[in-house]
Structure 1
Amino acid sequence: MSKSPAVSLYDTTLRDGTQGEGVNFSAHDKLRIAHELDAFGMHYIEGGWPGSNPKDMEFFELAKTQKFKNAKIAAFGSTRRANLAVEDDPQVKMLIDAGTPVVTFYGKSWLLHVTEVLRTTPEENRAMIRDTVRFCKEAGREVIYDAEHFFDGFKDEPEYALSTLAAALEGGADFLVLCETNGGSLPHEVEEITRKVQARFPGAKIGIHSHDDGGLGVANALASIRAGAVQVQGTMNGYGERTGNCNLTTVVPNLALKMGYEGIVPDLTKLTALSKFVDDVANLPHFNRAPFVGSTAFSHKGGTHVNAVQKLARSYEHIQPTAVGNRQVVLVSDMSGQDNILRKAQEMGFDLKRGEESRRILDQIKQRENDGYEYEAADASFELLLRRELGLYQPSFKLLEYHTTHRQHGERGLDTCEATVKIELNNERIYTVEEGDGPVNALDQALRKALATAHPELAKVSLCDFKVRILDSKSGTAAKTRVLIESTDGVDSWGTVGVDFNIIDASWEALRESLEFYLLRKKQPRGA
């Protein structure tokens, strides 16, 4: 693969990304993310808008004390206000006071915005851009000019849109970034307009800032790069206003693995871990179906697919999963063939061969999935089923009985949930009673209490997710229910499933298997 010209990566997760619904970072969160982005090899990190809120001001103060190996920190703002000298504009002054080596600011490219939003003249708008660039350059900053709504502006009044870029260059801008702010342009339009900009300003460094309103944020960024842009702006995991920004976790591997920019980051295998880290700090669930970095990005469910990837992985995988730090996953479901079962058993360390045994396990999987079970997200339940069929299952305890009650006092507004659990453990009958926040929590507490003396290690285990799915909603309150539980000991996590017409019984099954799996793995490692 031939070496392509250099392209720089500009991350705006900490500013544009936080404009997305549900995305919030403290100043220290931003600092943690900035260091991870820097370690990954990001070239520019936009920290926020100085003066817009206390968190951003605190971040820039903290950033002044930090060292970054690969990235330059950028402060973001806007042009000076209309009819105000640039040196008198407090917002521009804050950009300089942030102390960052890079200043990025936006200006208006669309004549509609100039006359109807700014309510100023076309020439004054150009002067606002030119003056702000010059002021920041004279302060010793690298200046990146974001031409807001550039593509819409170009479509309406191409010569005026281009004249705003000329104003930025007259002031000394280092980058002209074409912003596809409304996210409605198509890739062929972005590519064509970028080429026209490149032709008008040969030698200028062009960047692209795209949004995903049409589902084309990444495609538009790549189209602009094809046309000569040398900087991509985006956010981790596609965070951003409305439907989000160009997703760097998608655009970076496409640049590196598909378009010849192999050295764009030092180690692309860190991408999946970085993506999950940012989601964790944002306290958001990781998007399983995300290209490249999602947990299902290289998952195979259909029997013919699994059979093929067993022989030749690239027959159903466009890249090697390890190239982005991900892995191949074989799912077990009612669509599985024997290859799924064999591969999954092999992953778990069991020596299962094709034959009557594997067919019996497959038939049971298909029957249980027909009954409502789902093993794609319940590896632990699948392993317990596998152990039972292979004669390797040794239960840690025996259930004798459980009982739950829920009492509601109408006048006082008080409610109490209580559970009793009776088990046999080490030839001893143990009976416990516990209260909880709901019947399932009460059962969880009672079972843990019964097991605690013999298995104190269960104190490490906690439930991190609890999902309930009604399988046949037409049956109303008599519908069959599937419960999926995800558990963790702080290091590993595992999923279990329970199905029943009674939601308590379905929950008990998933809960019991979660604890049973943990105890079993402690005394019987996989394959044993």
Structure 2
Amino acid sequence: MDSHVKMYDTTLRDGTQGEGISLSVDDKLKITKKLDQLGVHYIEGGWPGSNPKDMSYFEEVKHLSLQSAVITAFGSTRRPGVTAEKDPNLERIIESGVEAAAIFGKTWDFHVTEALQTTLDENIYMIYDSVRYLKEKGLEVIFDAEHFFDGYKHNQTYALHAISAAEEAGADCIVLCDTNGGSLPSEISEIIKTVQQQITVAIGIHCHNDGELAVANTLEAVKTGAVHIQGTVNGYGERCGNANLISIIPNLQMKMGISCMEDEQLKQLTEVSIYVHELANQTPPNSQPFTGKSAFAHKGGMHVSAVLKHPETYEHIVPEDIGNERRVLVSELSGQSNLLFKAKELGIPLDKDNPAVKETIEKMKKMEHIGYQYEAAEASFELLIRNGIGEKHEYFHLDHFKIITDKEKQGNFTTEAVVKMDIQDQSIITAAEGNGPVNALDYALRKAIGEYYPLVHEMYLSDYKVRVLDEAEATASTVRVLIESSDGKETWSTVGVSGNIVEASWHALVDSIRYYFMKHEDRLIKNKTAPITRDIGVSNH
């Protein structure tokens, strides 16, 4: 099969109806450029008659130099009792200056009488009149048959009458909408077959994900004959979301042999997915199919061994074809293959005959048994491997630390940390105040080693997570602390585990600094003239 379908993106309109999704005009313009580069054929910018933001978008988008995407305005059929020429929403669509418009109309008789509160005949006139008017103005018109599948199931004759009216008025494409997202693939295909006997114009599909079948329903529709696909990046949308174009595109192109875009554009898919997540201020789900961080991540030792020999054993496509990459995770399930793969990835000389391989695997499994987790803390894992082969990156040692927290009469808390460190055979005592014990300890540690290793001032904590591992023990529970650090250019994560949250945090903090120093040893500046004992004093910097 080598047919071609049109991809219609409605992230900027339908996608923003999802809970927690909000895009500025600038965000929408940036996404427009990304979608155009990806090769999306239609980009629905919004509803120009509904709010000033969308009207502003249509003004600004005119200044973009797009390669091929057609900017589309969304709207509804005219209101009951007025002509299309006098309907303000249709007029806003024309004023937006677009070449194409998508207007929705009611095809479920229940909605006509209860939601619109008009007659069935008037609704048919509204559809015909609105499509006719926009066509006369020179626009390409896409008619979104809202609630079509539910309408068909309740009143087949009326639903078909409604889309026939759109065709007679000159609609270029009729999009069948599973607006409530409750249809099954078998229903989608059977109903489309009936529609094909009724109309000759191009058929499109618009599915919601309330039954978690939006992607499956869309693929089934294309298989049955739909040539116009509506969806959103990452499946954003109202309630449970819309059909996810990020999953639809590779399934069509790589598995069904249906052309969507050029192969080089397909390689941008992961980048586009993450880009939109970031602009929408959403955390990209690791488990998102195709483009998620875990989509091609392998953890079980037998799986990894097989994948390294033949990737197709546990991968349904080549990840690089959509811009993703293979990852090997390390955990208590890991075997020799995992460790050797990670060592090679990290540039650590290690072969299967080295006794350190078995010793490191056993060490890792023991650590994970008490609560450590190296999947999300690869910096700590690299230190574990390097320690296993005899590389010691011990730049400082703890003698002891003390945390003092005072609650004042006014209710304010002050926290002070005192640490005593051994650095280059010197003994250093420092103290610092902070916003809580971990923050104070971090400040004190940095002060102590900063005199010897100024490089520590280039890095900082960017995230801090705590998880209780055995909730049954209540306040005596073991906790796992994950720390993400950064120097503004790169990020890395470390882990610490203890029954004491401060001790767990200490282990993660120390690993973070050790890792950064190891990676930048060529820039490590050491002060070797420090006195035997110094008390640097208290500071919150």
Classify the TM-score, shorter chain: over 0.9
Aligned length: 521
Closer, same or farther: CA 107–461 of 1 in aligned 2, 3 Å: farther
Instruction: Between 486-495 and 94-103, report the one with greater CA deviation.
Output: 486-495
Alpha-carbon separation, structure 2, partners of 1:258 and 1:64: 36
Q: Which residue of 2 aligns with 1:480?
A: 478
What is the DSSP-based 3-state SS (H/G/I as helix, E as strand, rest coil) of the residue aligned with 2:250? helix
1:281-320 correspondence to structure 2 within 5 Å: 281-320=279-318
Deviation of 1:163 after TM superposition, in Å, equals 1.1
Deviation of 1:263 after TM superposition, in Å, equals 5.0
Closer, same or farther: CA 477–15 of 1 in aligned 2, 3 Å: same
CA contact (8 A) 2:469 2:480 kept: yes
For residues 59-81 of structure 1, what are the alpha-carbon distances to aligned partners after superposition, in whole Å with 9 as ceiling and x for unaligned?
12211222211211111111111
What is the DSSP-based 3-state SS (H/G/I as helix, E as strand, rest coil) of the residue aligned with 1:491? coil
What is the DSSP-based 3-state SS (H/G/I as helix, E as strand, rest coil) of the residue aligned with 1:77? strand
Q: Which residue of 1 aligns with 2:533?
A: none
**1:400 equivalenced with 2:378 (yes/no):** no
Closer, same or farther: CA 384–27 of 1 in aligned 2, 3 Å: same
For residues 462-497 of structure 1, what are the alpha-carbon distances to aligned partners after superposition, in whole Å with 9 as ceiling and x for unaligned?
433322111110000000001112223333222211
CA contact (8 A) 2:6 2:260 kept: no
1:202-351 correspondence to structure 2 within 5 Å: 202=200, 204-262=201-259, 264-265=261-262, 266-351=264-349
Q: Which residue of 1 aligns with 2:526?
A: none
What is the DSSP-based 3-state SS (H/G/I as helix, E as strand, rest coil) of the residue aligned with 1:495? strand
Alpha-carbon separation, structure 1, partners of 2:403 and 2:85: 71
What is the DSSP-based 3-state SS (H/G/I as helix, E as strand, rest coil) of the residue aligned with 2:461? strand
Instruction: Between 398-407 and 386-395, report the one with greater CA deviation.
Output: 398-407
CA contact (8 A) 2:420 2:427 kept: yes
CA contact (8 A) 1:255 1:262 kept: yes
Deviation of 1:458 after TM superposition, in Å, equals 4.1
Alpha-carbon separation, structure 1, partners of 2:282 and 2:433: 30
1:450-465 correspondence to structure 2 within 5 Å: 450-465=448-463
Instruction: Between 471-480 and 71-80, report the one with greater CA deviation.
Output: 71-80
Q: Which residue of 2 aligns with 1:11?
A: 9
Alpha-carbon separation, structure 2, partners of 1:376 and 1:75: 45
The residue identity in structure 2 corresponding to 1:231 is: H
CA contact (8 A) 1:7 1:264 kept: no
CA contact (8 A) 1:396 1:520 kept: no
For residues 428-479 of structure 1, what are the alpha-carbon distances to aligned partners after superposition, in whole Å with 9 as ceiling and x for unaligned?
4444433333222232333334444554444443433322111110000000
Q: Which residue of 2 aligns with 1:33?
A: 31
Q: Which residue of 1 aligns with 2:140?
A: 142
The residue identity in structure 1 corresponding to 2:387 is: R
Deviation of 1:424 after TM superposition, in Å, equals 3.7
Closer, same or farther: CA 252–457 of 1 in aligned 2, 3 Å: farther
- TM-score, normalised by the number of residues in structure 1: 0.95
Aligned with residue 487 of structure 2, among 467, 489, 507? 489
Closer, same or farther: CA 120–488 of 1 in aligned 2, 3 Å: same
Deviation of 1:34 after TM superposition, in Å, equals 0.9
Deviation of 1:220 after TM superposition, in Å, equals 0.5
- Quote the sequence identity (%): 50
| Structure with bigger gyration radius | 2
Alpha-carbon separation, structure 1, partners of 2:30 and 2:458: 27
Deviation of 1:316 after TM superposition, in Å, equals 0.7
What is the DSSP-based 3-state SS (H/G/I as helix, E as strand, rest coil) of the residue aligned with 1:58? helix
What is the DSSP-based 3-state SS (H/G/I as helix, E as strand, rest coil) of the residue aligned with 1:103? strand
Aligned with residue 86 of structure 1, among 69, 81, 84? 84
Aligned with residue 504 of structure 2, among 506, 511, 522? 506
Deviation of 1:261 after TM superposition, in Å, equals 2.4
The residue identity in structure 2 corresponding to 1:251 is: I
Alpha-carbon separation, structure 2, partners of 1:94 and 1:459: 56
For residues 318-363 of structure 1, what are the alpha-carbon distances to aligned partners after superposition, in whole Å with 9 as ceiling and x for unaligned?
0011111111111111111111111111111112112432111111
For residues 93-121 of structure 1, what are the alpha-carbon distances to aligned partners after superposition, in whole Å with 9 as ceiling and x for unaligned?
11111112221111111111001111111
Closer, same or farther: CA 175–437 of 1 in aligned 2, 3 Å: farther
Instruction: Between 453-462 and 331-340, report the one with greater CA deviation.
Output: 453-462
Q: Which residue of 2 aligns with 1:97?
A: 95
Q: Which residue of 1 aligns with 2:151?
A: 153
**1:188 equivalenced with 2:179 (yes/no):** no
What is the DSSP-based 3-state SS (H/G/I as helix, E as strand, rest coil) of the residue aligned with 2:205? strand
Alpha-carbon separation, structure 1, partners of 2:108 and 2:457: 60
The residue identity in structure 1 corresponding to 2:390 is: G
For residues 176-205 of structure 1, what are the alpha-carbon distances to aligned partners after superposition, in whole Å with 9 as ceiling and x for unaligned?
111111111011111111222122213x11
CA contact (8 A) 1:8 1:264 kept: no
Query: Structure 1: which 5+ runs fail to align?
Result: none
Alpha-carbon separation, structure 2, partners of 1:138 and 1:384: 70
**1:108 equivalenced with 2:111 (yes/no):** no
What is the DSSP-based 3-state SS (H/G/I as helix, E as strand, rest coil) of the residue aligned with 1:401? strand
- TM-score, normalised by the number of residues in structure 2: 0.93
Closer, same or farther: CA 197–391 of 1 in aligned 2, 3 Å: same
Q: Which residue of 2 aligns with 1:389?
A: 388
CA contact (8 A) 1:300 1:306 kept: yes
Deviation of 1:264 after TM superposition, in Å, equals 2.3
Q: Which residue of 2 aligns with 1:467?
A: 465
Alpha-carbon separation, structure 1, partners of 2:138 and 2:440: 64
Q: Which residue of 2 aligns with 1:357?
A: 356
Deviation of 1:379 after TM superposition, in Å, equals 0.6
The residue identity in structure 2 corresponding to 1:407 is: D
Alpha-carbon separation, structure 1, partners of 2:97 and 2:454: 53
4+ residue segments displaced more than 6 Å: none
* RMSD of Structure 2 on Structure 1 (CA): 1.8
CA contact (8 A) 1:46 1:75 kept: yes
The residue identity in structure 2 corresponding to 1:343 is: F
CA contact (8 A) 2:288 2:295 kept: yes
Query: Structure 2: which 5+ runs fail to align?
Result: 524-541
Closer, same or farther: CA 296–429 of 1 in aligned 2, 3 Å: same
